[in-house]
Each structure stands twice: as structure tokens, then as C-alpha cells.
Amino acid sequence: MRQIVVAITGASGAVYARSLVRMLVRSACRVHVIVSPRGAQLMQMELGIEHVTAQALVECGSDRVVFHEYADMVDALASGSVNTDGMAVCPCSMHTLAEVAAGMGSNLITRAAHVHLKQRRTLVLAPREMPLSVIDLENMLRAARAGAVIAPACPAFYTELKSVQAVADFVASRVADCLGIHEEIEEFRSL
């Protein structure tokens, strides 16, 4: 079973994160979820999720969702010796982007991202901010040069998406694509 890390940070777009976790579970992945404190606040504000649990994210298959503590720096995901098949930060705040670009690892999200880069594994960052400062742009370039895939949470509308959920699924399916997960997401893909 493929092991995918999904980090949820405090950028707007909690719905993208929920959609991505659902998609990965349907694709028979084990999903390792890390939520930043601000990410948890956005989950509450945007989706009404008081406590981010497996049941709150997926309707079925919740046994394939494993939570890891944001502040737990002795967690397995902090170590390069524990193998995974990729990581996505979705949505990715400019704060977390900056830490990743600077090579910092002050919490489990940025440490796990750093591990993915140094181990040459797939790291997908889905930043959401508008407009972008020169610092944000430089951080994206720096992270991309270090091997990260920059996949902005940026939906397209040429497929006449009919709901917020469809917009979220569009973005999440692109992130899943970048992770190399293509199965079971056809129904979410609009093109």
C-alpha cells in the first residue's frame, strides 16, 4: 500500500485538503495527515470541522487515515529512514512555504517536507495566496530548484465546474496527479 503524507496548513482552502485525502484513500493509499494549528482553525472556519479526525475527512476507509502530531519531532515522519511514497502540502501557506524553502524544520510538517527533499522523494506544494510577493515567488523558485513540485491551488473553469466541491476536486486531482496517483480519480477529473 502506498504511503502518502498530506500536510494541511493555514491557507484558505481546507476543502482542497479534504478532497485530496478522500481521493488518496479511494486510490488505496495509506494517508498520513499532519495538521498545523492554523490549518485546524481553517478546517473549523471553512468546513465546520471542530476536530480533524479520519471520520470527519472521509466517509469510508477511515482506517487508512493516520494522524501525526504537528509538534511531535520524534515521529517517524521526521526521519529519512522511514520510507514514504510522497508528500503534499495542501493547501500550503506562505509561512510553511518559506520554512520549506529555507530548509527549516521547526515542526513535523516542515521537517517531513525537508526529509522528502533530501531523500529525493516527491514533495508537492499547493500554495494559495494572491497576490504573491517577490519573497513568495522567490521561495517557490527556491523550493522548486530543491526538487519540490509547485502546484498552485488554482482551478480552471473550462470544464464548467458546477459546485465548490467540483472546484476542490479539480485542484485535488491535479495534486494527486503530481504525486503519481492516477487510479480512482478519473471521476473527479474534469478533463
Residues at the interface with ligand FMN (CB under 6 A)? 9-12, 36, 38-39, 45, 93-96, 128-129
Using the minimum distance from each CB to ligand FMN, give the nearer residue, 2 or 95: 95
Give the nearest distance from C-beta 144 to ligand FMN in angstroms.
Answer: 17
Nearest-angstrom CA–CA distance, 118 and 131: 30
Q: Are 186 and 170 in contact (CB under 8 A)?
A: no
Q: Which helix (H) or strand (E) holds 123?
A: strand 123-127
Using the minimum distance from each CB to ligand FMN, give the nearer residue, 93 or 173: 93
Using the minimum distance from each CB to ligand FMN, give the nearer residue, 26 or 111: 111
Residue number of the CB closest to ligand FMN reads 10
Q: Is the bond leading into 91 cis (omega within 30 degrees of zero)?
A: yes
Using the minimum distance from each CB to ligand FMN, give the nearer residue, 4 or 108: 108
Using the minimum distance from each CB to ligand FMN, give the nearer residue, 19 or 96: 96
Q: Are 91 and 8 in contact (CB under 8 A)?
A: yes
Nearest-angstrom CA–CA distance, 139 and 169: 26
Using the minimum distance from each CB to ligand FMN, give the nearer residue, 11 or 185: 11
Give the nearest distance from C-beta 131 to ligand FMN in angstroms.
Answer: 11
Q: CA angle, 102 as apex, 88 and 173 as ends, to 5°?
A: 15
Residue 185 buriedness (CB in 10 A; 0-12 / 13-18 / 19+)? buried
Name the residue with cell 467540483. Answer: 166
Nearest-angstrom CA–CA distance, 185 and 177: 9
